[in-house]
């Protein structure tokens, strides 16, 4: 929850910093230093959390929670994702953002991770193997 709260506070600070009450609802000029012709993928004044994406495009995870943890634990442990400063995020922050993004609540992350590891001992990694097969079949 800390990551989500931090995100909202950041967005509110952005609004307070770059927009006055008279700007709200009015067309906003190039006040945001991020807005320029090269990287403008959203309308001036629009919050750019997910720029250019239909606001109705909400995501929801439609597999088991253990599949979610298996997939993103592999991504996390592979060091595929870093913070902008090059540091590795905490696992808690990494999963908090993904759970928010995919609208899934994993109540006990460590327990679900243990279940994924137990399943791996018994059956391998069925979800990751399914993803590899799907990719191999669709990339021909």
Domain ranges of the chain: 1-54, 65-138
- What does the pLDDT read at residue 103? 86
Which residues in 50-114 belong to E strands, given as ranges?
A: none
Calpha distance 130→115 (Å, rounded):
18
Using DSSP, state whether 2 is helix, strand or coil.
Answer: helix
Q: What is the DSSP letter of 104?
A: -
| pTM exceeding 0.85 | no
CA-angle at 21, arms to 30 and 56, nearest 5°: 70
Task: Please check whether residue 100 is in contact with residue 4, taking contact to mean a CB–CB distance below 8 angstroms.
Answer: yes
CB atoms within 10 A of CB 15: 13
pLDDT 10s digits, 37-60:
444 444 444 445 554 556 556 788
Calpha distance 28→37 (Å, rounded):
15
1 compared with 15, residue with greater pLDDT: 15
Which residues lie closer than 8 Å to 93 by C-beta, 6 or more apart? Answer: 2, 3
Is it the case that residue 90 has pLDDT exceeding 60? yes
- What does the pLDDT read at residue 61? 92
Long-range contacts of 14-21 (CB under 8 A, 24+ apart): 14/47, 15/47, 19/45
- What does the pLDDT read at residue 46? 42
Which range has highest mean pLDDT (2-6, 34-38, 99-103)? 99-103
Structure tokens at 36: 């320029």
pLDDT 10s digits, 126-139:
899 999 999 999 97
């Amino acid at each position: 929850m800390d990551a989500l709260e931090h995100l909202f506070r950041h967005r509110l600070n952005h609004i307070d910093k770059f927009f006055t009450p008279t700007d709200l609802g009015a067309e906003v000029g190039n006040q945001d230093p991020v807005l320029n012709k090269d990287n403008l993928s959203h309308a001036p004044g629009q919050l750019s959390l997910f720029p250019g994406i239909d606001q109705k495009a909400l995501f929801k995870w439609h597999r088991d929670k253990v599949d979610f943890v298996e997939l993103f634990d592999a991504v996390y442990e592979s060091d595929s994702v870093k913070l902008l400063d090059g540091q590795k995020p905490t696992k808690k922050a990494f999963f908090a953002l993904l759970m928010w993004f995919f609208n899934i609540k994993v109540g006990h992350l460590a327990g679900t991770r243990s279940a994924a590891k137990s399943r791996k001992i018994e059956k391998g990694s069925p979800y990751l193997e399914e993803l590899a097969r799907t990719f191999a079949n669709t990339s021909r």
